[in-house]
Amino acid sequence: MFSVSGMHGFKLFSLEHIAVLLIFFAACCALVYLRKKPKKYHQMIKWTLFILLPVCEISSHLWLILTNQWDVSNLPLQLCSISTVLAMYLFWKKNEKLFYLLYFFATLPPFLAMVTPEMVYTFPHFRFIEYFLHHSVLPLSALYFILYEGYRVPRKAILFTYVTVNIIAVPIFILNQLLGTNFFYLAGPTEAKTILTFFGNGFWYYINLEIAALIVFSITYWPMGILQRKEFLPGDRVTPK
């Protein structure tokens, strides 16, 4: 379960893969259902999500260290790790603009990572469980803030997040060149076959990456836009409770 060489053979849309995706959707439905339950359930959900975030992040690094696999490429600078820090901060302190980033970073991107994962291990290997649990907790945390804390995202947040990502990408790109890493996948697509595989190489890879980011952010905003149109009159601005 914890070995490096054992339990290889992950297959895209295998029974195990489909099962974890269904469990994720069931957890989303449970969050929607439990929002009408007493406050004690809300607190249980909040602290369960809060605890799972660092547990997933830290356990992943511990496994890499204990199996002699950890190197600079495992620094917590991927979007998943950044989203983890943002979510943990928001559980402690409310911040509207940070939620904008979390919403766009931690909803559709982790789901896409679950649909086409960079994964070689199959269930019940530790890496399989940790990967899918971590990528599930992030969108579940964002959903919690929407349902239980009243956070909303305006349309202008698409541009705000897009600009912020590009600003962050500059030092990340330089760091990749210095360390030979691939944070934010700015050095190229993953070795495993994922959506990034179809983005091409060189100049066109970055163009497609920029276009994909805008498309993903726009699609991510779509359900939020529908939610706000149903809840409020046009032009109303919503702030967290």
* Contact assessment for residue 224 and residue 152, using Cβ atoms and an 8 Å cutoff: yes
Per-domain residue ranges of the chain: 15-231
Cα 107 vs. chain centroid, distance in angstroms?
6
| Terminal alpha carbon distance of the chain | 43
Q: Quick one: the chain helix, strand, coil %, rounded to 5? A: 70, 0, 30
- What is the pTM (predicted TM-score) of this model? 0.88
* CB hemisphere CA count around 226 (13 angstroms): 5
pLDDT given at position 233: 47
181 Cβ partners below 8 Å, 6+ apart? 72, 73, 75, 77, 175, 187
Q: What is the pLDDT along the chain (241 residues), one digit of tens a residue?
A: 888 988 898 999 999 999 999 999 999 999 999 998 888 889 999 999 999 999 999 999 999 999 999 999 899 998 899 999 999 999 999 999 999 999 999 999 899 889 988 889 999 999 999 999 999 999 999 999 999 999 999 999 999 999 999 999 999 999 999 998 989 888 877 666 666 766 777 788 889 889 989 998 999 999 998 888 887 644 444 444 4
